[in-house]
Amino acid sequence: MTTDSVTDGRAGNDVQLRDVVEADLEFLLAYEHDPEAVRRSRFTPRPRDAFMAHWKTKILGDSTVFVQTVTVRGEPAGSIVAWWEGEQGVGGDRFIGYWLGRPYWGRGVGSVALGLFLSREIHRPLYADPFAENTASVRLLEKHGFRRSGTVRHGDDEHLMLVLDAGPS
């Protein structure tokens, strides 16, 4: 199991990344169904069976996907994942996404976790497409070097396309 950690002294958080274990999925499912998170992300939560199947086959079952559980003081706080949209090396793009439970918002957890993740995710460029009105998510990505490169639509919603060109230092 791979674990990286750093202590965020401002918030008193011990933020770590580690491999996902099956027990994490119940936490991640609950976080995905939080009504305020759904409103901010404009992501439709999956029913439990669909969520579990997606995670077990499309995320954990795909060797090209890099996913980590974010923990705070040992408790699952969310996840960060990178995946290929299209075929790897054949015009495909590498995307990143993350989801934190509401108890961890506004405490610096996302910033620390994303920094750790980006130091380990070797592929560049990386793309992210947060809902345009999710200003906290947009600010987080921009703080870590992502730049705006346009917009995309998912259904009726406008999302910003952000890209990170530089690799880990």
Q: Is residue 43 situated within a structural domain? A: yes
pLDDT digits (tens, 9 = 90+) for 62-72: 999 999 999 99
Q: Is residue 153 situated within a structural domain? A: no
Q: Is residue 97 situated within a structural domain? A: yes
| CATH number, domain with residue 73 | 3.40.630.30
pLDDT digits (tens, 9 = 90+) for 93-130: 999 999 999 999 999 999 999 999 999 999 999 999 99
Q: Which long-range contacts (CB under 8 A, 24 or more apart) does 18-24 make?
A: 18/68, 18/69, 18/71, 19/68, 19/69, 20/55, 20/59, 20/60, 20/67, 20/68, 20/69, 20/79, 21/69, 23/76, 24/69, 24/76, 24/79
pLDDT digits (tens, 9 = 90+) for 2-56: 666 555 544 557 999 999 999 999 999 999 999 999 888 888 899 999 999 999 9
Output the pTM of the full model. Answer: 0.88
Rg of the chain over all Cα atoms, to the nearest angstrom: 15
Q: Is residue 156 situated within a structural domain? A: no
Neighbours of 84 (CB within 10 A): 16
Domain of 95 in residue numbering reads as 3-121
Q: Is residue 140 situated within a structural domain? A: no
Q: Is residue 56 situated within a structural domain? A: yes
Q: Please give the structure tokens belonging to residue 93.
A: 């793009």
Count of structural domains within the chain? 1
Q: Is residue 37 situated within a structural domain? A: yes
Position 9 scores a pLDDT of 47
